[in-house]
Amino acid sequence: MTERTGLRRKIWIAFILQLAAISFATVFGVYGASVVIKHLLIERALDDEAAHYWQRHARNPAVDLPDTFNMIGYMIEPGGSQDHLPATLRQLAPGYHSLPRADGGYLVLVDPKPAGTLLLVFKQDQVDALAFWFGMVPLTLVLAVIYVIGWFTYRLSHRAVSPVIWLANLVKRWDPKRPDIEALRPENLPLDVEGESLILASSLHDFVARLEQFVERERDFTRDASHELRTPITVIRMACELLSADAGLPAHSQRSVRRIQAAVGDMESLVQAFLILAREGDTGLPDEDFLVNEVVRDEIERVRPLLADKPVELRLDESAAFELRAPPRVLSVLLGNLLRNACLYTEQGHVTVRVRPGEVVVEDSGVGMSAEQLQRVFEPFYRADSGNGPRVEGHGIGLSIVRRLSQRFGWPVNMTSTAGQGTRVSIGFPVSRPAV
C-alpha cells in the first residue's frame, strides 16, 4: 500500500471533494439568488412606481415626474422629441433594459401609454452594495464555518482510522516467513488502538500465532516424513538389488523383482515430490548450479527398465547443453514423471528426449490423447485411456505433480497430443544459461 493509494489519502481526497462541492453549490446558490432577487425587486419596484405615477397623472396631468436618490423619471409626449433624454436612453424599446456599467449600469423601464411614454431609470449601485453586504458577507461566514467543521471532521476521521493504518504498516513490514507478532500483544498496542481496531489487532495476533503453529507442525511433518519414509524405501530397493544379483532366481521371480524395483522408484519420486510441494517457500533442498543434460541422462537410465520387454527405442538428442541454478532433485522428479508416462503409454516405436537451448522436449509414439483428454490431463487423479494397449497402473497424479512443480519454479510445461500418434511435452527454462 502506497501513500497514493492509502486510506489516509482517500479520506483526504473525499473531504476535499466534499468541501469543494459544498462551496461551489453555496456560492452558486447565493450568487444566483442575489442576482434573481435583485432584478425581481427592482423590476417590481419600477412596476409599482410606474403604476403609481400613472394614477397620479390621471388625476393631474401636470404631476411631477419621479425624482429620488435612486430613481429618475422621464416623459416623452405623444409625437414629441427625445432630445431631452440622455443619449443612452434614446430609441429604447418598451420593456426592461439593463444598461452596461460603461453607460451607467442603470435598469430602465420604458412604459408607453396613450398619454405618453414614461421612462424610469433606477440606479443599481445601492442595490449592489446591499447585495454584497447581505449576500457575500454571510456567504463568506458560511463558507468559513463549513471549512472549520470540515477540518475538525477530517481530524476526527484521521484519528479514527490511524489505528487501522498503524496495523497495515505493521503487517507490511512483517517477514512472511517469520512474522513478528509481539507488537500485537495487548500490552504493546498504542493507546489509540481501541474498539474495532483493538478487536482486529487481537484477532490478527491470535490468527498469526495459530498460523505459526501450523507452519511449525508442517516443518516437523516434512522433516519426519522425509526420514521415516525414505528409510524403508531404501531397504526395499537394496533388497531388490541383492535379489536381482542372484543368478539362481527363477525367471518369474526376476520379473516380480523388476516390478518391485519399478514400484520403489515410483514411490521414491512420489515421496520426494510430495515433500517438495508440502513445503511453502523453502523446498528443503539447496539450490546449486548443475548441468541439465546430466539430469536428463540419469532419468533416461532410470526409466530404461520400463521398456525392457517392449519394442520401443529410447533415444537422447542433445543439440545443446545448458545449466540451471535450482535443486536438481526437482528437475529429476518433474522429468522422471514425464518419462515414465511416455514409457508406460508407448507399446512400440520410440521415446525421444531432446535437449535444446533453454528447453527439454519429451516425444513418444504412444497412444496419444484426444482434445478432450488433453484438456484434463493435468487434473489430479485423472487418467487417460490407454487405448488398445495393456492397462497402465497408477493413480493419475504424476502430471498433476508436474504442473505444480513447473508453476512453483517457473518452468512452463506445454503438451500437445494426437490420439493414436503420440504425445509431445516441452519444458521451458527462462533463466537457463549455456554450459561453459
Nearest partner of 19 among 153, 137, 136, 132, judged by Cα: 153
CA-to-CA distance for 372 and 418, rounded, in angstroms?
11
Place of cell 549455456: 434
Do residue 182 and residue 238 come from a single domain?
Answer: yes
Domain of residue 71 covers 7-78+87-141
172-205: b (≥16 Cβ within 10 Å) or e: eeeeeeebebebbeeeebeeebeeebeeebeebb
Q: What is the pLDDT of residues 177-227, one digit of tens each?
A: 677 777 677 666 666 666 666 777 777 777 777 877 777 777 777 666 666
CA-to-CA distance for 431 and 292, rounded, in angstroms?
12
Splitting the chain (436 residues) into consecutive groups of 10 residues, what average pLDDT does each group show? 59 76 74 67 85 90 86 88 86 86 80 91 73 69 80 75 73 70 68 68 77 74 68 82 80 80 74 68 71 93 84 92 89 89 90 94 91 85 59 65 87 92 93 86
| CATH number of the domain within which 244 lies | 1.10.287
| CATH number of the domain within which 418 lies | 3.30.565.10
Q: Check: CB of residue 108 under 8 Å from CB of residue 97.
A: yes
C-alpha cell at 142: 458560511
Can you give the pLDDT at residue 284? 57
Query: Is 68 exposed, middle or buried, given 0-12, 13-18 or 19+ CB atoms closer than 10 A?
Result: exposed
Can you give the pLDDT at residue 1? 46
Residue after which a domain boundary falls, among 284, 311, 331: 284
Q: What pTM value is reported for the model? A: 0.50
Do residue 330 and residue 259 come from a single domain?
Answer: no
Domain count of the fold of the chain: 3
CA-to-CA distance for 337 and 298, rounded, in angstroms?
13
CA-to-CA distance for 385 and 366, rounded, in angstroms?
12
Can you give the pLDDT at residue 362? 95
Do residue 247 and residue 298 come from a single domain?
Answer: no
Do residue 289 and residue 250 come from a single domain?
Answer: no
Q: Alpha helix (H) ranges present in 137-250?
A: 137-172, 196-244
Do residue 291 and residue 392 come from a single domain?
Answer: yes
Query: Is 356 exposed, middle or buried, given 0-12, 13-18 or 19+ CB atoms closer than 10 A?
Result: middle
Do residue 116 and residue 203 come from a single domain?
Answer: no
Do residue 289 and residue 430 come from a single domain?
Answer: yes
Do residue 322 and residue 277 come from a single domain?
Answer: no
Residue after which a domain boundary falls, among 261, 284, 307: 284
Got the DSSP string for 185-202?
SGGGS-TT--THHHHHHH
Beta bridge partners of residue 354, listed in sequence order: 317, 361
Count of beta carbons in the 10 Å neighbourhood of residue 158: 15
Do residue 295 and residue 226 come from a single domain?
Answer: no
Q: What is the pLDDT of residues 41-50, one digit of tens each?
A: 778 888 898 9
Query: Is 102 exposed, middle or buried, given 0-12, 13-18 or 19+ CB atoms closer than 10 A?
Result: exposed
Do residue 123 and residue 238 come from a single domain?
Answer: no
Nearest partner of 268 among 232, 297, 309, 304, judged by Cα: 232
> Running DSSP on this structure, what letter comes out for residue 50?
H
Q: What is the pLDDT of residues 342-363, one digit of tens each?
A: 998 898 999 999 999 999 999 9
Q: Check: CB of residue 306 under 8 Å from CB of residue 340.
A: yes
Measured CA distances, 230 to 197, 223, 236, 320 (Å):
49, 11, 10, 35
β-pairing, 349-356 with 312-318?
parallel
CA-to-CA distance for 54 and 61, rounded, in angstroms?
9
